[in-house]
Each structure stands twice: as structure tokens, then as C-alpha cells.
Structure 1
Amino acid sequence: MQLLSIILSLTLTATVPAPLREPAPLREPGSWSVTGPGGAVTARLGLDDAGRLSFGVDRQGAVVLAPAPIGLTTTAADLSAGLSFLGRGNRTVRERYTRTTGKQLERDVTLTESTFRFDRDGTRLDVVVRVSGEGAAYRYVLPASATITGEASSYSLPVDAPAWLLPYTPNYEESRVPTTAGPAAAGDYGFPSLFRVRSNYALLTESDVDGRYDGGRLTHAPGSGAYTVSLADPLITSAGPLSTPWRVAVVGDLATVTGSMLVDDLAPASRLSDTSWVRPGMVAWSWLSEHSSPADPDRQKQYIDFAARNGWPFVLIDEGWSDAWVPEVVRYARARGVDVLLWLRWTDLDTEQERATRLPQLRSWGVAGVKVDFMDSDSQERFRWYDEILAATAAQHLMVNFHGATIPRGIQRTWPHVMTMEAVRGAEQFTTRAATNTIFPYTRNVPGGMDYTPVTWAVTDRDTTDAHEVALALVYESGWTHLADKPETYESHPLALRTLSRLPTTWDESRLLSGAPGQETVIARRHGDRWYVGGISALPAHTVPAGLGMLGDGRYLAETLTDGDHGLERTSRIVRRGDTLSVPVAGNGGFVTVLCAYTGSASCDEPVRQVPATTLALSGGPESVKAVFTLPAGGPLRSVRLEPRAPRGWSTTGAPVTAATLRGGESITGTWTFTPGPDVPPGPVDLPIAATFTFAGDPGYPDSPGAQRVHVEQVVHTLVPPPDPTGTPDVSALPFLTESNGYGPVERDRSNGEADGGDGNPLTMRGTVYDTGLGMHAPGEVTVWLGGACDGFSARVGIDDEVTSPGSVDFQVLGDGVPLAASGVVRSADPPAALTADVTGVRILTLRATDGGDGKNFDHADWALARLSCAA
């Protein structure tokens, strides 16, 4: 269906105006209008007697954006003045598409488009204008390669227009400022920016930004209503014809602005023909409430168990996870119907080699998606990286959440596996204010998913009530909603947990019912045949009237969660279309109402997805692996399939084992062999066998597109050994079988340095520089293959001189898991210590650096001159 929608969109938008005979350039001024379907919005393009262009927008006959200069400059020409009009072409554009996330999944919209052709001394500039019932946009088109030096693009607002502006930073995480267009402070402001012009609102932003351009922002000089577009780079290069991003003005009342999808309407169509692997949903996330927990696999399993109990499909493991244990935790999660998402720095994926290595590895573990962090740039170079990472993650069927990122500019239409983006001052700032929260639905959340990480009692510096916190999960739109507190905290608020576990994260339609920026937001959203009404307030206690004109025929049960005298409380009543739901809201409070068809039931609660417990036992080795998959009790399971999953370069023999039904107490058994190919690299490898199934009671059961097959996997651990070392090799010259490090990668012949590989300094301790060795950060560890061919190990160990404060490390040597030698705690003030070990007969050597018992800060551990004595 998705592919058909894309084909229809391409067909319907391919209407081309009749060819124009280019007239001689017209030097006199001109004025043109483009009116959108329905006649509410009109864009006005002007050319004055100096050949300068202007652009403005009216709504229902009233000026919203007064005509303001537009144009651009290149290294070859100034295309902001001296222009002559050549001609105009018109067409109607119809956009029909399906989203995987968002406030409206199915979209069908018609826009009016006009292309205006201009010339300056033989250099061509086209201005394309599109208008819909929600606003107007324009872009520049250059027919040949060019280097852009800037834009004259600007907007003109009344000086007394109220405004809600974001002081610009490239991660969009500053606090929004309620101000006025003219007196607003001088400086740069990030998109989207909201202005009220009498009875209308204008939201200014941009769409269709990728690596062919960079991200813009608004620059304001105080005292006027003029806001100009500034670019991130001094120069933007284009190797061929260039269509710039759309300069977008969403105009209308607040309901129009809040519900607008104009940014998506202007974006390129989806680049994915298959989105069946893309899944939104609630996410359990531990970093905000307990920073150290992502480094603790046992604690992550507790989050997984909590998510499974409550039907949340995902757990995000943030900064601190390790290659050493993530694969096993992923297997643990998937057997319980929970998928794992992993945090990464963007610098972990900023080269083609890193993407080609790391992303397939994550997918082979069964990871469902990634949170990529700290991009912190709107440059053309960074947008080219976005192009690359989006294509690479899509190829691996890895969904994406961008943090430390730019704002959505249509990216979720073009790349439907982008579930959400941060670009907001969210709960992780540990300061929550109701007045700020009520601005986001009218600003940041309009162009796309917003990863605010809501609903946390861990943030104690807040003026919001408990019901306000819960309502954020409904009022804010995000394909993945990362709920940010501990399992124990949610379980101590059972009414909140009951509501959260039944909220969708995607919507068939959304409507603003009432509110104003900085005061209140009341939104109704539909998912299937249910409606959900949520409100957040920054006002004193009052009663919110929520009109229910959107309901269908018949009676509905309305269950409402609000703040009560003794904590959260839940009430219910029977309502019909056209009724008004009157909800008492506490000061800075909120509410959530679930509306379901009334069938006589006392509750709208639906069963929470509970995956049956199963076991998968493996025995044997690569030459013969026996697998027994059992359903101890319950069920039945359907469409059961048991099979090996050969790693890349490996082959297996034996057919899958299947069962149409598996009932409690029943098992299926299979036996397979694994064989490595000639190009399999040396090192440890996991040989997986997996059972997949559906089960009675699961949504979409048994095999419809909505059914999510459960994946139960276990592995046989084996090793493809490298050649035995000979002579007296440096450990840094040998291949690592495994590697982990407290910060960044383990460095060869350099100190640990910072987070990136190769960024260390020469190994230096107490002023002495060493040519070879390993640079670690505690806790760190590497293993290397000896194969029983060596008899001695030696090194000089200590804290590298690069640290700015004292560190402490205990250096340990292990052979086949057995301790052989240890330095004891070595501190920065200590001289390098000699460390030797007898490794006779050892197959696998482990070099480990622990934190000395006082934390890992400044524990840059050097293994200088780490060498082996091996057989010739």
C-alpha cells in the first residue's frame, strides 16, 4: 500500500505546465499572486523597479506577512537585485502519502504552484511558490552549478506582533522566549519561530534540507519587524542544478498551525519502498533517572522485564553499554517481546568504514534501532552526513532517533525510519516549567516528532503536577516516546502507569481543541476507533471545557486521569458526540481522557501484550549443535519456526524445523552444523539458533501485517583463532579478539586520549615517552590469542601524563580467565611499575585495567612496552 501511495503521488504531481515561449526580459516592476485551494491563503511575489524581489502572505484578505525582500547571491552573480521577469508557469500539485509516525498517518493535500523565471545579465533564477490552505512556501532554483554566498530571504512582521522565539544554538536546546517581534533581542533565532499577527499566527521554518544545502535560521536587528534568513556556512557548494530548501510560512489560527503538515507536504517522497520493519511505540529509558544504569546489564534486564510486563515494545540502553554484554541482553529482551535500542555518538558513525562495520554488527545482534547523539551542527557537511547515515541505517533496517540534532525539516516523510528527534529543551535538562511546556505544541512539535523524554518524577525542579507529567506523553507527538523514570517509580504511581501503558504513539488524526502558547494546550488525537484527549496547563486551577464534536455515532465511555486531593485519580462517564467534557485541572496541571465505544464495560482498558515464557536450550559445538525449543505452559504458539542463523561467511546444513501449533509442555528439536568459510576473520563468534512464533491474543494474530513475531535466540560461542604469535611481538601489533574501554577505543602505541580512535598522544609516564604499548581508560580490557605458543609477558604500567587530575588503576593479567599477575593500585604520582607474567600454555591472554576502586575519572592506563616471548 505504501508503494502504491508513492506511485500515485509521483503520477499526480508530475503535471507539467504547457511550454512557455521565453519573452524578452521585462525590466519594469511586477506583482503576482498565488492563491491556494479554497482561497484562504495567498502568496504575493513582487519585483520593484530596481529588480528586487519581495514575498508576502495574506490570509482571508488580511496581511499576515508583509512583502519582504528575497533572493540569493552566488560567487558569480548577485541574484537579489537587477532581476528581469521572463515568465510564469502554473500547475496544481497533489500530495498523497502515508507516514509511519506523526499526528496524521494518511495525508492527501492539494497545493497551487507557480514557477517565476527571472534573469540577471544571462544568469537564470527561478522562484517556485507553493500555497495550500495551511500556508505558503518558496524556493530558489538555479539551472547550473553554483556556490551560494548568502540569501536575501526575509520576513516582515508588525513590530508589536507577539512572538515565541528560540535563541539559536545548533542543538536547539535553549529556552524559548516569549517576546515581541520588534523589541526582541538582536541575534539569531532557530526555526520554527511563531508570531501572532492580529487574529492569525505565522510559523516560520523550512523544509527539504539535505546535503545539497545547509540549515538556516532567522537573524533579527532590534527595533524592526524584519527577520532575515542566515545560513550555517559562508559558502554552499552545488555540483549541478540546485533547488534550495523551501522557506515555509504556516499561517492560520492556532488549530491550523498546530495541525499543519505543510513541512512534510513540501518534502521529498519516501525513499523506502518497504516500511514493514518500522515500528513506533513506548520506550523504557534509564539514563535520566539513574545515569550509571546503562553500564549495568543486570539493571537493563530489570527495565526489559518492566517493559514486557506493561506491553512497552522497546528499551533504550544509553551511554555506557558494552559490546561484551549487549548481544546477550538483546537476546534476553527479544524473548520477552521487547526490542533494544542503543545510544551512539555520531562520531562512532562518521566514516563510511565505521558505518559499514558497526551498523551490520548491531543488526546481527538483533538491535532494532539507534539513538545517535551530539551532531550539533547545521552545516552542509553535517547534512551530508545525515544523508549517509539515513541511507546506511535504512539498509540495515535500523530505526533512528537523532539527539543533539537539528529540527525536522520533512525528514520523517522522506526517511520513514526516523522515529523522533530531540532539538528541544526537554526533561533531561532537569528543570521543567509548565509555561515552557505549553509553548512546544505550537512551535517545535509542529514540523515533526519531538523527543522530550517526558513523564518523570526524577526531575524535582519542576512546577508541574503529576497529571501534567502524564499528559505530556499524549500532548507531545513522538514516534518513540521515551518515558524517563524508573520502573519502581512508575509502579508507585499505578494510575499513571495504567494510562501510559495504553497510549499509542502514532495518530490517525489530531485536533487542537483549545489553548494558547505559554498558557494551555488541549489536544484530541485519534488512533483507530478510539479518541484520546490530553491537556497541559500553566494557568491557575480551573475547569477545562473539551468539546467532543469529533466523536462518531453512539455512546462512548470517557475515562479521565486528573490530579486529585490525594494524588492522581481516575473518573469515568458516558458521553456522546457534541457533549462537552468538563475537566477540573489543578494549577499547572493536566489530564488525559481515553474515549472508547461504550459496550457496557466499566473500563476502556485493553489486554497488555504478554509474551508466553519459552526456553531454548543448545548443546554441542559448531560441528553439531542440537536445539530444543519448549513451551513449558500456556499458549498455544502458532507458526513456530526453529532454525540456525549463520553469521556472515558461515554456512549451515540442515533444514528449519517448523510446527503449526505448539501447546504447553510441547517441544520441537533440530540439529545443525556450522562451517566457517575461507574469508571468516579470526576472533570469537556467536553461532545463533532462533525460534520465532506468534501467539494467541497478540494484536494482529496470527500472521497479519500487524503481528509481531517473537524472536527467541541462543548462541554457541566459538573462536576462529588467528595464527599463533612468534618471536617477541608487541601486544599492540596483534589482533584483538575482544576489546572494551571506559572511554573511546583502546589505542595502539598511543595514550587513550579522548573519545575518537587515534586521538591519543605518545605514551608518556613521568616524562618518559614509550614507543609501543596500549592506551586504555579504566575499566578497559583486551584479549589476544597466544595459542599456547608463548611463555612470557612483560610491560611497564602506569597513569599517562596527559591527565589533568590524579587517576588510579589496578593492572591485571589473566590467562584463559585465570589471574596470573596484578600491579596493585598504581596512582598518577607513582613511577611506572614493571609487570610480568608466566604465560606458558595460555591460549587467550587478557590485559585488564580496573578503576582502582575510586571511580574511573582520569584513569588513563598505559601498558607501555607490552611484549610477549613466544616460540620462534
Structure 2
Amino acid sequence: MLKLLLPLVLSSSFLVPAQASASSWTLPGVGGVGATVESADGRLRLKVSSKSADVLSVADLGVITSAGDLSKDLALTAESHRTLRTSYRMTTGKQRDRSVYQEESRLTFGNSSGSFALVVRVSDDGVAFRYELPGPVTVQRETGGFELAPDATSWLQPYNAQHENEHAQATASTAPTGQFGHPALFRAGGNYALLAESGLDGRYSGARLTHTQGSSRYDVQLADAAVASSGALATAWRTMIVGDLATVTGSTLVDDLADPARFSDTSWVQPGLSSWSWLAENSSPRDFERQKDYVDAAALRGLKYVLVDEGWSPVWLPELTRYARARGVEVLVWFHWTNLESQAQRDEWLPKLVAWGIKGVKVDFMESDTQGRYRWYDAILADTAKYRLMINFHGSTVPHGLARTWPHLMTMEGVRGEENGLNATRNTILPFTRNVIGSMDYTPTRFATPSNPKPQTTNAHELALPVVYESGWTHIVSSPEELASQPEGSRFLTQLPTSWDETRLIAGAPGSEAVIARRSGARWFVGGIRSGGAGTVAVPLSFLGGSGRWLVEVVSDSGSTLSRTSSVRRASEQLAIGVAERGGFALQACPYTAGLTTCDKPYRQAPGTTVLVDASSTEVAPGGTVQVQGIFVARTGGPVRDLVVAPEVPAGWTLVSRSPVRKNRLDDGESVSGSWTLRLGPAGARGDVELVVAGNYTAPDGRRIHSAGAVAIFAEPLPPRGSTYVSDLPWTNETNGYGRPQQRDHSHGGDNPPGTLSIAGQTFAKGVGSHAASSLTTWLGGACTRFVADVGVDDGTTTGEGSVTFVVVGDGRTLASTPVIRAGDSATHLDLDVTGIKRLTLATTDGADGKNSDHADWGGTALTCAP
């Protein structure tokens, strides 16, 4: 990270009276953006201007606390000013390197109920303010309301907790009564104003805007009824990005106000394009073989990642990860947020993902702006950073500058994205609203085919979206077959970065058109989209700069396929690009030299390699050893260089023989082998364990590739003793049909919190709560003789909705199986002989009518074992 420059602190006598009255002060401005604070009858107002034109104001500044009303009868008690100059670097966003110049004014006001500091920062792209209060304090609400010109055009999104409604255009006064989410866009004359939040985390509460039709005022409503702090409290920044449309679109104000990065080594943080199957084929994440097709499609086109969404299984995900990494593709994996809700869950899952080779997680369905949920964001961001796992928040709030504070945050949803259908009008609003404030997980680029036409947008429109929209991870939603149907589109995606040195708005207007240029190194990429009829888009090339010549390649619609044209141009020229109805285009430009025919950088697939692994035994007891042999084979596409072959030692195991096998070069058809002894320690993982041998090497294109194989063995746990319960034992395997994992001594709850295990009014202090279809296995080791349980559908399920069958399996043999049990049915009692059983499995099925509401309870689950 770049080292921050210390702020320059100036004298406190900075305020310049706007008039002779001492109740009005002009704050220091920056680059044509100005701010004025006024006090009338003890009430405060902040006025914001751009290029000497009033844009908006904030009336009745202040807060209501449990101690009283801090919005009236206010008197100034102190003032200070400082100039802030900072520099920082982002891993994502519209501009890697940021230089910030802000003027900060701090005005302290008080009345008989207490005091607060109004902190205002002015920069060349807007104004922000927040309240700072001495503690302890409980804030009940903020009183400041944003006031716009009544006829100011508005683009507002009705609020919901996942921020996924459509934007609607109206005026500031005619917009309907209701709640609206951040960011909110207004236009008054030649100036725009985008209202947002920044510096928001678990120390405060999220907010939305409230409005009454007929008024042009928008008030702030917190998600929580109260925010308490035992010490001093700083609210979130109320952020007003102002200026022309190019200034608003290019603003970095939300990031500029956020806390600096919590860590400096970002070498492991890698933005990139990803192949993603869920939208094209909702059931495909459950299909190991189909996921391999998506890996192959990513490898063929140089996409850095494949995202495996809801439905993946821990049974095959490690193997898929090895398959992908051997082909130069890294794996990202989806989680319902409740699977990572607690510290214990994160402590279990995150190191496991790292051991599998997973590079990042997509966490979904948070859907809340409360302080409690923001505290969870803080916790999981810290934990994933600890394990060097990148993260994407889906079903989430919108960005508040978190990507600056946590550089491994690649993107956030908080948008009505392509999974909600294709919509050309929506697409031309989002560049000027939601995407201004941070990376946006829109999941774009669904190509049409003759068998699957998509008339809402064209293929060129879809191809332009990963340029028009900024996202550190961009998940491409076309299937392998759809990608193959558009070779020019696939070729363009192979070249496309997702992190940028520079971004510029070329042309556009919310709801009708957006043309955005982004630079990575010496190359420029431009995406253009429109919502209306066919026509010509004018693209001035002045953004290229300089007096030299540029090779410009344009991909546009040619009927149902994409075609590419090339020309040599100068920055003084202008392109006229024809686009279809609801169409678009994608452009790549690079400095021209004689004979240059394409801007494409060469891409070469990873060599074909195989790692064969064998073990001396299929089972190992605690303290025992197993010998592992690995053979690395270079098959095609080599040579491979700087090869290191060694086992990946699971946590709690030790490597008895430690030397890796090294080879400077292997040509196609050559191989190298090694043998190592591993010992299972007392803290080693138990159950089904994969012992992995990996070869790490340098490919011909310079990439470092990881190729591995594995052998499965069973690490025996210690058998249970005496009287115990399945919920108190370690589980060697566990899968669940929905949401969070199976719950020990609580019901599952579905989307609701876990509760008491209850079947037809009968409650259980011990047991397991699951959601069909589910399975768990625990090790008895032949030490137990009896298993007793009462099973049924949890009372938290509406009568008649849930339908479950329960199955008990011992060492692969079915010991008991119930008929379909429904919500409201009495518990079915199980009393089984488990003498000699080593592995006991408790499974449920969905009753053959789908998994909805199938909340299954295993009440008791008592075991009688040898003392």
C-alpha cells in the first residue's frame, strides 16, 4: 500500500462569514464544490453547491439521543479545520491509485441535552458530513433531511433489504411516498447529486431514505431503533456526490471517506473473470461432471476462476478444485451466510477451504442493514483476510467503502442484476447509480443462441456489460455452449481485465445510453449500451490521448452473431458505431506499431499434467503412519519447469520424511515420483481424509500452476464410551438439504434461527435438527450396542407442509426406515441394536415432493456404549 501522508492541520479560525450575520459560514471549498453552514433560530442547515450553483441542502441537522433532542436550540461552541491529503491503492474499482484532497471542517454545537461535532468534508466530487458524539450515547435517529429542487429529476430504487428493486424515474416531489435505498440520483439543471453512505460498519446502523409524495425532502431512517455506544460514537458519512454526470460517474468519494486498509500485503488478492453456471443452469452446481465443463470453458478462454454455486457437495468439491487448478483455473465457492454465521462455523469451514485450494467465497442472503448484521460483516471480513480467502457479498447491502478497508472484498451485489432478467433500461441506469459507489456483482453477459433467443438485449449489449460495469470479480453467465456460439465475444472476454488504472464516462444519460472507457496498462476497453431503438453512437477518441496512432478493434452485432472490425485511428478522431435496438458494442484499443494486427495479448492453456497417488493402507489408527507415493506426469503442452512435488500435510498430521522432489524441467511424456510417510497425530482430522500430493511448476507462459492428485483413507476417531448422544460426538461426514448445517441440540429453523427440538408438542433437550435431504455419519468403532431416538417433522413447520422419511444405516446396512412423516404427526420411536457397528449414518429424504419446509428432528439420539 502507498504510505499515507499526514494531514496538514490549520488554525481553528477558518470559518468565513457568508454575510455579516455570525450564523452563516462558508466552509473551504475544493475545485468548484462548496458548502455553507447556516444557523437560524438554533436549527442548522448545510448547503451544497457546484460551480456556484446550489445543488441541494440538508435541513435540521442533528440527532435525537436517549438524553434528548440535539437538533434545536443549538449554539456553536468550538470550530477547527484541517486539510487532508492522502494517497492509497485499491485492488478493485474504477481507479487503482487514488490521490485525495479534502477540506475538513469541524463545528461543535450543543444545547441543554448535550453536544455533537458536525464534521464536514469537501472534495472536488462532493460533500460529506457525519456526527461525532461523546460517549456513552444512544442515538435514536438522525434529523437531517436532504432537500432538492421540487422539479429535480430523480432515479430512485424502492428500498428492500437486498437492494434489488428496479429504479424508477420521477421528480424529487412526485416520487411516491415510501422508503428508497442508497444511492439515490437527482438532476437539477446541469448538476447531478448522488446520495450515499460511507464509513459504515458494525459500529453503526445502515439507513434508507424516506419520502412523502408532494415534498422534495428526503429524510434518513436507520435500520435499528437505536444505536448504543459505551464510548464516543461517529455516525456513518452522509455522502453527496455532486457535479456533472462525468464527475458523478467517476467519483471515488465513498472509498475516499472509508477507513484505510487493514492489511498491506495484497499479493494474494487477484481480481478476474469467472465462469458461473447457476443462472444458465440452476441445477448444475450439484453436478460434478457439468462443473468440469465450466472449468474447461474457463481454461479455454483464460478466465481466472470458476464459481461453484448453491448445491455443491464437499464429497466432490476437493476433486473439482484439483481438476480446475491443474488447468490454470482457480475455484470460488458459494455459501449461505448462515453456514458461516458463527465463529465456530468459520473456524471449521475456512481452514478446510484453504486446505482444498479454494481461493474465495461468495456469501449470500444476508439481506439486512442492521448494526448486528454489519458486525457480522466485520467478523467475516477479518476471518477471511486471516485465511487469505477473497470474498463476494451477494444478497447484501451496497458498498460503503469496505473494499478500501478490506482489499480482499472483490464485489458486492446490492443490485437488481441479470439473474432478475435482461433489461436494457435498467442496464443504462446502473452505471450512474449503484456502480458509482463500488464493485457490483451484476453477473452479466448472457449470449443468445438460436435455441435460446433473448430479445431484451443483443449479444453486443451483453458483451459490453463487463466493461460498462466495474466488478473485481465478474461472473460470466453464459454456458460453455453459448460462449462457443460467439467466438468473437469469447475472444474479447479472454482479453478483458477486471481491475482498472483509469475510468472515464464518454457519453450517456440514465435510462437511455452509457458509454464508458476503462484503461488497464497501455490498453483501453470501451463498453457502450443503449435502451432505445437502433442508431449510431458517437465515440470521440480523445480519451486515448497523445498524438500517436491507435489500433481500434470494435465488436458489434452482425445479425445473431458478433463480428469484429479493426482500424488505425488518432485520438483526434471520432468513431460512429452502428448499434441495434437495445444493442451495444465493445471496443479494445492499443498503441499502434507497423504491422500490428490485433491488441490481443497471447494466451496459452496450461500444460496437461497428471498426478497419480497411492497409499500403503486404506485406514490408519491414531498415532499410526501411512506411506504415500506420488507420480507427476507431464503429458502435453510442456515443458514444465521448476517443478516441486510434495505431499500437502493435513492439519494435525506430521510428515516423517520431509524432502520434496524437484526437477528443473520435464518434457512431454516424462514423469517423476516420490514417496513420503505421514503420521496421524492426536489432533488430526478424523473420518474420510484425502492425502494429497501436488506438483507446483512454471508453465511455458510463466504462470505458476498447481497440479495434484489424492488418495482417500479413513482416519479412525476414538470410539465413544458409556452413555452418550450423537449430538455430542464428532461427525465424520455431514450434508444438509438447505441453509445452515445440521444443528446439534436445536431444530434447524430453515431461514429462521435454530430453536428447540419439538415434535407434535414433545420437546427434546438433546438431538439433531436437519433439513431434508440430509445425512450425517459418526464413528462408533464397534463399541456401542443400542441407539434410541424419536423422529419427526419439527413443530416450527406449518402443519401439512413438511414431509420427511428417516433412515438409519450401520456400516452400509439399513437398520431402520420410516414411512413419510408430516408436520403435526406424532414422533416415531426408534430403538435399534447397533452391536458391532463401526459407522452409524442418520439420513433423511424429502418425502419425494421437494425439500420445502422439510425440517426434520432427531430427538434424543442416545447411544449405549462400552464403559
Structure 1 pair 856/267, CA: closer, same or farther in 2 (3 Å)? Answer: closer
Pair 557,353 (structure 1): closer, same or farther in 2 beyond 3 Å: same
Task: Give the match's secondary structure for 1:191.
Answer: coil
Question: How far off is 1:119 after superposition?
Answer: 3.2
| Equivalent position of 2:676 in the other structure | 672
Structure-2 change in CA distance of 1:626 and 1:756 (3 Å):
farther
Q: Any idea what SS the aligned residue of 2:9 has?
A: coil
CA distance 1:36–1:635, shift in 2 (3 Å): farther
Displacement of 1:771 after TM fit?
8.1
Aligned to 1:421: 412
Q: Following the alignment from structure 2 to structure 1, what is the Cα–Cα distance between the partners of residues 435 and 368?
A: 20
| Alignment partners' CA distance in 1, 2:767 and 2:57 | 67
Residue 338 (structure 2) pairs with residue 347 (structure 1): yes
Answer whether contact 1:752 1:760 (CA < 8 A) is retained. Answer: no
Between the aligned partners of 1:643 and 1:497, the Cα distance in structure 2 is 36
* Superposition deviation, residue 853 in structure 1: 5.3
643-652 or 575-584, larger mean C-alpha shift: 643-652
Does residue 650 of the first structure (1) align with residue 645 of the second (2)?
A: no
Q: Is 1:615 matched with 2:601? A: no
CA change 1:58–1:827 in 2 (3 A) is closer
Deviates more, 1:157-166 or 1:283-292: 283-292
Q: What is the CA distance between 1:800 and its match in structure 2?
A: 6.3
| 1:437 match | 427
The amino acid across from 1:689 in the alignment is V
1:31 to 20, 24, 28: 24
Q: Which residue of 2 aligns with 1:405?
A: 396
Q: Which of 591, 594, 607 is 1:597 aligned to?
A: 591
For the pair 1:588 / 2:578, whether they are aligned, the reply is no
Instruction: Provide the C-alpha distance between the structure 2 equivalents of 1:757 and 1:63, rounded to a whole number of angstroms.
Output: 49
Identify the residue that residue 569 of structure 2 maps to in structure 1: 575
CA distance, structure 1, for counterparts of residue 596 and residue 165 of structure 2: 46
Which digits, 9 at most, give the CA deviation of each residue in 1:327-377, with x for residues without a partner? Answer: 222222222221211212222222222222222222222211111112211
Q: Which amino acid aligns with 1:361?
A: K
TM-score by structure 2 length? 0.91
Letter in 2 for 1:510: T
Does the 8 Å CA contact 1:401/1:419 hold for their aligned counterparts?
yes
1:478-497 pair list within 5 angstroms:
478-497=471-490
The aligned runs of 1:429-468 (5 Å cut-off) are 429-430=420-421, 432-457=422-447, 463-468=456-461
Match of 1:762, SS state, is strand
Find out whether 1:692 has 2:696 as its counterpart: yes
Match of 1:787 among 752, 762, 781: 781
Superposition deviation, residue 463 in structure 1? 2.0
Shift of 1:448: 0.3
Counterpart-to-counterpart distance in 2, 1:797 and 1:145: 50
| Secondary structure of the structure 2 residue equivalent to 1:264 | helix
- Distance in 1, matches of 2:217 and 2:828, equals 67
Alpha-carbon distance between aligned partners in 2 of 1:334 and 1:150, rounded to the nearest angstrom: 50
Identity of aligned residues (%): 48
The 2-side partners of 1:837 and 1:299 are apart by 40
1:459-858 superposed matches below 5 A = 463-551=456-544, 552-599=546-593, 600-621=595-616, 622-653=625-656, 654-680=658-684, 682-697=686-701, 701=702, 707=703, 709-725=704-720, 731-732=726-727, 734-743=729-738, 744-747=740-743, 753-754=749-750, 758-759=754-755, 761-764=757-760, 775-789=769-783, 802=797, 804-805=799-800, 812-816=807-811, 818-820=812-814, 823=817, 826=820, 828=822, 841-851=836-846, 855-857=850-852
- How do 1:258-407 and structure 2 match up within 5 A? 258-407=249-398
What TM-score, normalized to structure 1?
A: 0.90
Task: Kindly indicate whether the alpha-carbon contact (under 8 Å) linking 1:805 and 1:858 is maintained by their aligned counterparts in 2.
Answer: no
Indicate the larger mover: 768-777 or 436-445: 768-777
Q: Give the 3 Å change call, closer, same or farther, for CA 717–20 of structure 1 in structure 2.
A: farther
Distance 1:77 1:759, change over 3 A: closer
Q: Which residue of 2 aligns with 1:63?
A: 54
Deviation at 1:479, TM superposition (A): 0.7
What are structure 2's unaligned runs of at least 5 residues? 617-624
> Using the alignment, how far apart are the partners of 2:461 and 2:438 within structure 1?
22
- Displacement of 1:324 in angstroms is 2.4
Please tell me the residue identity of whatever aligns with 1:146.
V
Any idea what the Cα deviations from partners look like across 1:623-651, whole Å, max 9, x if unmatched? Answer: 32222222123322233222233222222
* Counterpart code for 1:45: V
Deviation at 1:170, TM superposition (A): 1.9
Contact 1:762 1:771 in 2 (8 A): no
| More divergent stretch after superposition (316-325 vs 743-752) | 743-752
In structure 2, what is the Cα distance between the partners aligned to 1:227 and 1:757? Answer: 34
Structure 1 stretch displaced more, 210-219 or 421-430: 210-219
- 1:729 CA displacement: 5.9
Unpaired segments ≥5 residues, structure 1 = 702-706
The correspondence of residues 143-222 of structure 1 with structure 2, limited to 5 A, is 143-222=134-213
Secondary structure of 1:550's counterpart equals: helix
Aligned equivalents of 1:119, 1:807: Cα separation in 2 = 58
In 1, distance between residues paired with 2:122 and 2:354?
Answer: 42
Preserved contact between residue 610 and residue 708 of structure 2 (Cα < 8 Å): no
Deviations 1:152-200 (Å, cap 9, x if unpaired)? Answer: 2222211111111111122111111101011111222111111111111
Cα contact 2:556–2:579 (8 A) shared by 1: yes
> Is the Cα contact below 8 Å between 1:433 and 1:462 reproduced in 2?
no
What secondary structure does 1:100 align onto? coil
- State the Cα distance separating 1:760 from its structure 2 match: 5.8
Displacement of 1:734 after TM fit? Answer: 4.0
SS for the counterpart of 1:312 is coil
Tell me how far apart the structure 1 counterparts of residues 442 and 615 of structure 2 sit (CA, whole Å): 48
- Structure 1 residues 59, 407: CA separation in 2 closer, same or farther (over 3 Å shift)? same
Deviation at 1:113, TM superposition (A): 2.0
Q: 1:755 to 1:625 in 2, by over 3 A?
A: farther
The whole-number CA distance in structure 1 between the counterparts of 2:202 and 2:560 is 54
Q: Which amino acid aligns with 1:665?
A: G
Contact 2:65/2:140 (<8 A) preserved? yes
Mapped to 2, the partners of 1:652 and 1:167 lie a distance apart of 58
Paired amino acid for 1:242: L
Equivalent residue for 2:39, pick from 38, 41, 47? 47
Which residue identity is paired with 1:710? I
How many residue pairs get aligned? The number is 846
Q: Following the alignment from structure 2 to structure 1, what is the Cα–Cα distance between the partners of residues 510 and 454?
A: 22
Residue 620 of structure 2 is matched in structure 1 by none
Check 1:510–1:179 CA distance in 2 against 1; reply closer, same or farther (3 A cut). Answer: same
1:140 aligned partner: 131
Q: Supply the distance in 2 between the matched residues of 1:562 and 1:825 (Cα, whole angstroms).
A: 59
Alpha-carbon distance between aligned partners in 2 of 1:110 and 1:729, rounded to the nearest angstrom: 65
Q: Is the 8 A contact 1:751 1:763 kept in 2?
A: no
Q: Structure 1 residue 867: deviation in Å?
A: 6.3
| Aligned equivalents of 1:869, 1:93: Cα separation in 2 | 69
Deviations 1:590-645 (A, max 9, x none): 11011123342433333334111111122224432222222123322233222233
Letter in 1 for 2:166: S
Task: Report the Cα distance in structure 2 between the residues aligned to 1:612 and 1:688, rounded to whole angstroms.
Answer: 20
Q: Name the structure 2 match of 1:704.
A: none
Aligned-partner Cα distance in 2 for 1:20–1:133? 23
